[in-house]
């Protein structure tokens, strides 16, 4: 007897069940990988203040007063630049430094932040290509081993030129930690549990976006952060043992035997008994025909629907992170952020519970639209009320809504794209977001706009994001698309189930002839031989579909 997948689940969920100990284990390991994002402070280094760093004056001079970067000598009334520092590493040992980035000009600190984000731009795209070509686990391995070496080098680096080069390389090589764990969990989770498990995985990343600057200014110094990140890499090397390759990626790269082995071991961990001759077979040869389609990014842009999906989501990421980073640097450039952190967590908890309740009635797209509007209005309020109690409340509320919006965006984006280009496009989205942040940092540093003009810019950006939300697709309850052809159908039709898990190696004739199709808009399924099945043409998505509806509505009013 065969175990046939339903029209809503992929073969992984059909074999292992909707949730089990194996899925929880993968979620825990993936969440641990995301912890390292909490220790990359270089992307916001111009907002940081040194902690555990002491200026060491010359022994042959009598010092009247000293600060981190300057000293006053008894014999000289002018301020002299400090040229030696002791850095407290892990509260255990002192490192001697002859150069300190925090004593550079403010513009050099901003340049360091931009260099870090520039490295992330390249890293996101490179790791996306590696992941789609060689596997998700391969990208994670490269990330861990390279980050281990870069973290140690930059900890003991004492040269300005080498320091900036290592900042770029560290950001480039460690960027897979931002989203690779999310991809693995997204591809092994069932539709029912995908959002919940994804939220658990991205929690460390969102926590870092809120806490990095306040905690960094009251706890560890930059060298300690790098060293802790390197220690984490050693833990990650151990955790690689429990990090599986995505079964979906293996199936659609014709590595069926390895996918069978992974699912067989996972089934044992979940307490599900399978026969020794357990097999995964394609329902028909269409799966092989689909796999042979073009997997290049240029091919993604060849059809209308896929072109709209890619362009809309990339522009959305750019505008969203421009708005978020503008709010972030405005709020965290203020001195007293410890009390703000407590208020922010309160608002995040409240908005998170409200979003979870509303998710039973509203789609992820509608929830994202709501948080975009709330965050945009509150950001304008933060600019208008520059100080006072109302400023603090609006700041905490805007950051809380922005964090929930990021959660929804990270949940939606991977579900839009086919598995053979999923990580590449997701990396491009992250790269677009970094470009938006870099633009906002430049605006913040040089202040080319007045407060009124900034409010107008944020209103336009918020309205643009709201308009782009309307062009996004509803991904709730949908199985993940497999190939580019499925992305084109994703607006109206979900993909046909192409794989079947079989307990026996000799399926019956009836099982071979089974064809399962899911029509999301009609709510019906067909089971017919392949020679009688004709797929309906894909319906156009985006604003092209809104115009005929508008014309039809106007005719009715007349």
For the four alpha carbons of 86, 92, 93 and 99, in that order, the dihedral sign comes to negative
Over its C-alpha atoms, the chain yields an Rg (Å, rounded) of 26
- Contact present, 72 and 63 (Cβ < 8 Å): yes
- Contact present, 504 and 278 (Cβ < 8 Å): no
Locate 324 and state its tokens.
């978020």
CA dist 226 and 171 (Å) reads 12
CA dist 283 and 274 (Å) reads 20
Q: What is the mean pLDDT of residues 436-446?
A: 89
Tell me, what's the pLDDT at 255? Answer: 86
Cβ contacts of 22 within 8 Å, gap of 6 or more:
16, 266, 267, 269, 270
- Contact present, 482 and 418 (Cβ < 8 Å): yes
- Contact present, 525 and 518 (Cβ < 8 Å): yes
CA dist 388 and 515 (Å) reads 64
More confident residue, 148 or 501: 148
Q: What is the mean pLDDT of residues 279-288?
A: 66
Q: What is the mean pLDDT of residues 508-518?
A: 42
Tell me, what's the pLDDT at 368? Answer: 94
pLDDT digits 0-9 by tens, 71-128:
777 666 667 778 888 888 877 888 888 888 888 888 888 899 999 999 999 999 999 9
Residue 307 has pLDDT above 80, yes or no: yes
pLDDT digits 0-9 by tens, 49-71:
888 888 887 766 666 777 788 87
CA dist 349 and 469 (Å) reads 24
Tell me, what's the pLDDT at 402? Answer: 93
Tell me, what's the pLDDT at 435? Answer: 95
CA dist 345 and 455 (Å) reads 25
Locate 389 and state its tokens.
């109690």
What's the Cα-to-Cα distance from 408 to each of 24, 176, 504, rounded to whole Å? 21, 20, 41
pLDDT band (50, 70, 90) for residue 528: very low
Closest-CA residue to 75 (of 97, 60, 53): 60
CA dist 379 and 382 (Å) reads 5
Q: What is the mean pLDDT of the chain?
A: 81
Q: What is the mean pLDDT of residues 392-404?
A: 91
DSSP bridge partners of 526: 517
Tell me, what's the pLDDT at 509? Answer: 47
pLDDT band (50, 70, 90) for residue 524: very low
pLDDT digits 0-9 by tens, 545-556:
656 666 666 666
More confident residue, 512 or 130: 130
Q: What is the mean pLDDT of residues 219-247?
A: 88
DSSP bridge partners of 500: 281
Tell me, what's the pLDDT at 303? Answer: 78
Residue 514 has pLDDT above 60, yes or no: no
pLDDT band (50, 70, 90) for residue 499: low
Residue 316 has pLDDT above 70, yes or no: yes
Helix axes 136-155 and 106-134, enclosed angle (nearest 10): 150
pLDDT band (50, 70, 90) for residue 4: very low
Residue 333 has pLDDT above 90, yes or no: no
Tell me, what's the pLDDT at 549? Answer: 61
Cβ contacts of 243 within 8 Å, gap of 6 or more:
26, 29, 30, 33, 137, 140, 184
The three-state secondary structure class of 208 is helix
Residue 33 has pLDDT above 50, yes or no: yes
The three-state secondary structure class of 221 is coil
CA dist 427 and 122 (Å) reads 9
Residue 536 has pLDDT above 80, yes or no: no
For the four alpha carbons of 511, 515, 520 and 523, in that order, the dihedral sign comes to negative
> What does 352-421 look like in DSSP terms, one character per residue?
HHHHHHHTTTS-HHHHHHHHHHHHHHHHHHHHHS-SSHHHHHHHHHHHHHHHHHHHHHHHHGGGGS-TTT
- Contact present, 115 and 43 (Cβ < 8 Å): no
Locate 374 and state its tokens.
């709330």
CA dist 413 and 481 (Å) reads 12
Q: What is the mean pLDDT of residues 405-425?
A: 92
Locate 489 and state its tokens.
């159908």
Q: Kindly report which listed range (271-275, 282-286, 505-509) carries the lowest average pLDDT score.
A: 505-509
pLDDT digits 0-9 by tens, 455-467:
999 999 999 999 9
Domains of the chain: 53-99 (no CATH), 294-491 (1.20.1250.20)
What's the Cα-to-Cα distance from 405 to each of 376, 397, 428, rounded to whole Å? 11, 12, 19
More confident residue, 296 or 193: 193
For the four alpha carbons of 321, 199, 40 and 332, in that order, the dihedral sign comes to positive
Q: What is the mean pLDDT of residues 222-235?
A: 87
CA dist 530 and 533 (Å) reads 5
Percent pLDDT > 90 in the chain is 34
Tell me, what's the pLDDT at 510? Answer: 42
- Within its chain, how far is the Cα of 159 from the centroid? 32
Tell me, what's the pLDDT at 229? Answer: 87
Locate 237 and state its tokens.
């090397």
pLDDT band (50, 70, 90) for residue 517: very low
pLDDT band (50, 70, 90) for residue 500: low
The bridge status of strand 70-73 relative to strand 63-66 is antiparallel
pLDDT band (50, 70, 90) for residue 240: very high
pLDDT digits 0-9 by tens, 335-381:
666 678 888 888 899 999 999 999 888 899 999 999 999 999 999 99
Task: Tell me which residue has tokens 């630049």.
Answer: 81
pLDDT band (50, 70, 90) for residue 492: low
Cβ contacts of 531 within 8 Å, gap of 6 or more:
none
Residue 262 has pLDDT above 70, yes or no: yes
Residue 295 has pLDDT above 60, yes or no: no
Locate 56 and state its tokens.
């060491």
pLDDT band (50, 70, 90) for residue 472: confident
- Within its chain, how far is the Cα of 15 from the centroid? 28
Residue 532 has pLDDT above 60, yes or no: no
């Amino acid at each position: 007897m065969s175990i046939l997948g339903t029209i809503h689940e992929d073969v992984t969920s059909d074999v292992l069940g909707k949730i089990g100990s194996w899925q929880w284990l993968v979620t825990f390991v993936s969440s641990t990988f995301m912890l390292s994002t909490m220790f990359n402070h270089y992307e916001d280094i111009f907002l940081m203040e040194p902690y555990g760093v002491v200026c060491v004056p010359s022994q042959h001079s009598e010092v009247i007063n000293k600060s981190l970067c300057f000293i006053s000598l008894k014999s000289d009334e002018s301020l002299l630049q400090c040229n030696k520092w002791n850095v407290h590493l892990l509260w255990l040992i002192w490192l001697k430094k002859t150069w300190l980035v925090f004593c550079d000009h403010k513009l050099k600190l901003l340049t360091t932040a931009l260099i870090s984000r520039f490295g992330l731009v390249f890293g996101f795209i490179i790791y996306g290509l590696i992941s789609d070509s060689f596997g998700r686990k391969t990208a994670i391995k490269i990330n861990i081993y390279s980050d281990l070496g870069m973290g140690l080098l930059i900890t003991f680096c004492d040269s300005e030129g080498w320091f900036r080069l290592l900042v770029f390389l560290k950001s480039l090589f460690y960027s897979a930690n931002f989203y690779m764990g999310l991809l693995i969990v997204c591809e092994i989770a069932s539709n029912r549990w995908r959002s919940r498990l994804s939220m658990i995985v991205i929690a460390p990343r969102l926590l870092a976006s809120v806490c990095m600057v306040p905690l960094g200014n009251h706890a560890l110094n930059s060298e300690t952060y790098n060293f802790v990140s390197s220690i984490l890499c050693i833990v990650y090397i151990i955790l690689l043992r429990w990090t599986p390759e995505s079964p979906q990626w293996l199936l659609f790269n014709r590595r069926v035997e390895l996918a069978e082995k992974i699912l067989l071991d996972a089934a044992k961990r979940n307490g599900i008994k399978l026969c020794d001759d357990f097999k995964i077979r394609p329902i028909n040869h269409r799966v092989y025909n689909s796999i042979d389609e073009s997997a290049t990014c240029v091919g993604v842009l060849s059809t209308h629907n896929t072109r709209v999906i890619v362009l809309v989501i990339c522009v959305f990421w750019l505008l969203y992170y421009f708005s978020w980073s503008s709010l972030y640097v405005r709020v965290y450039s203020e001195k007293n952020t410890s009390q703000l952190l407590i208020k922010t967590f309160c608002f995040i908890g409240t908005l998170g519970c409200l979003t979870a309740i509303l998710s039973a009635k509203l789609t992820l797209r509608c929830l994202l639209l709501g948080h975009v509007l709330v965050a945009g209005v509150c950001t304008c309020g933060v600019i208008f009320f520059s100080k006072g109690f109302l400023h603090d409340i609006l700041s905490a509320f805007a950051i809380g809504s922005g964090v929930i919006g990021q959660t929804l965006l990270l949940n939606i984006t991977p579900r839009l794209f086919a598995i053979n280009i999923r990580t590449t496009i997701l990396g491009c989205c992250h790269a677009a977001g970094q470009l938006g942040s870099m633009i906002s940092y430049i605006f913040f540093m040089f202040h080319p706009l007045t407060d009124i003009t900034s409010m107008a810019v944020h209103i336009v950006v918020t309205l643009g994001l709201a308009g782009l939300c309307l062009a996004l697709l509803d991904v709730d309850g949908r199985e993940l698309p497999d190939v580019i052809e499925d992305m084109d159908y994703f607006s109206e039709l979900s993909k046909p189930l192409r794989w079947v898990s079989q307990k026996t190696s000799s399926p019956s004739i009836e099982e071979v002839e089974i064809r399962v199709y899911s029509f999301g808009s009609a709510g019906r399924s067909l089971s017919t031989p392949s020679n009688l099945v004709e797929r309906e043409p894909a319906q156009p998505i985006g604003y092209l579909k809104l115009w005929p509806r508008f014309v039809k509505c106007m005719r009715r009013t007349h």
